[in-house]
Amino acid sequence: MEKLSDINSLTKKLKKINYLKVEKNKNLAEFASFKVGGPADLFLTPEKITAVKELMPLITNSTIPYFILGKGSNLIISDKGYRGIIIYTGSLNHYQFEGNQITAESGLELKEIADLAYENSLSGFEFAAGIPGSLGGALYMNAGAYGREMKDVIIKAQFIDQKGKLIELSKAELKLEYRTSILQKEDPDWTAVNVTIKLKKSKKSLIKAKMDELHNKRWSKQPMELPSAGSIFKRPPGHYTGPLIEEAKMKGFQIGGAQVSTKHAGFIVNKDHATAEDIVKLIEKVKKEVYKISGVQLEVEPRFLGEF
Ligand X SMILES: Cc1cc2nc3c(=O)[nH]c(=O)nc-3n(C[C@H](O)[C@H](O)[C@H](O)COP(=O)(O)OP(=O)(O)OC[C@H]3O[C@@H](n4cnc5c(N)ncnc54)[C@H](O)[C@@H]3O)c2cc1C
Distance CA 165, CA 142 (A): 24
Query: In the range 109-138, which residues lie near ligand X by CB under 6 A?
Result: 131-134, 136-138
Q: Given candidates 78, 158, 191, 194, which one binds ligand X under the rule CB under 6 A?
A: 191
Per-position x/- string for 42-61, each x denoting binding to ligand X as judged by CB under 6 A, each - no binding = --------------------
Q: What whole-number distance in Å separates Cα of residue 53 and Cα of residue 9?
A: 19
**By C-alpha distance, which of 135, 126, 106 is closest to 213?**
126
Strand 154-160 and strand 166-170: the pairing is antiparallel
Residues numbered 68-97 forming contacts with ligand X, rule: CB under 6 A = 68-75, 89
109 annotated active-site = no
Closest by Cα among 71, 75, 13, 72 to 42: 13
CA atoms of 45 and 29, how far apart (whole Å): 16
Q: How far apart are CA 242 and CA 190, in angstroms?
A: 34
State in angstroms the smallest separation of the CB of 33 from ligand X.
4
Within 10 angstroms of residue 181's Cβ, the number of other Cβ atoms is 23
Q: Is residue 100 a contact partner of residue 193, using CB atoms and an 8 Å limit?
A: no
Q: Are residues 184 and 223 in contact, defined by beta-carbon separation less than 8 angstroms? A: no
Three-class SS of residue 101? Answer: strand
Cβ distance to ligand X smaller for residue 89 or 241:
89
The binding track of 216-235 with respect to ligand X, each residue x by CB under 6 A or -, is --------x---xxx-----
Residue nearer to ligand X on the CB measure, 124 or 144: 144
* Closest distance of CB 100 from ligand X, Å: 23
Of the residues 54, 78, 179, 181, only one is catalytic, namely 179
Q: Which of 36, 183, 199, 274 binds ligand X (CB under 6 A)?
A: 183
CA atoms within 13 A on the CB side of 138: 34
DSSP state of 233: B
- Choose between 290 and 302: whose C-beta lies nearer to ligand X: 302
* 154, 182, 192, 268: which one binds ligand X (CB under 6 A): 192
Assess 169 for contact with ligand X (CB under 6 A): no
How many residues touch ligand X (CB under 6 A)?
32
d(CA 5, CA 8): 5
- The reply to whether 106 sits near ligand X by the rule CB under 6 A is yes
231 carries an active-site annotation: yes
Q: Quote the least distance from Cβ 91 to ligand X, whole Å.
A: 12
Residues in contact with ligand X by the rule CB under 6 A: 33, 67-75, 89, 106, 131-134, 136-138, 140-141, 143-145, 183, 191-192, 224, 228-230, 303
Catalytic positions are: 179, 231, 301
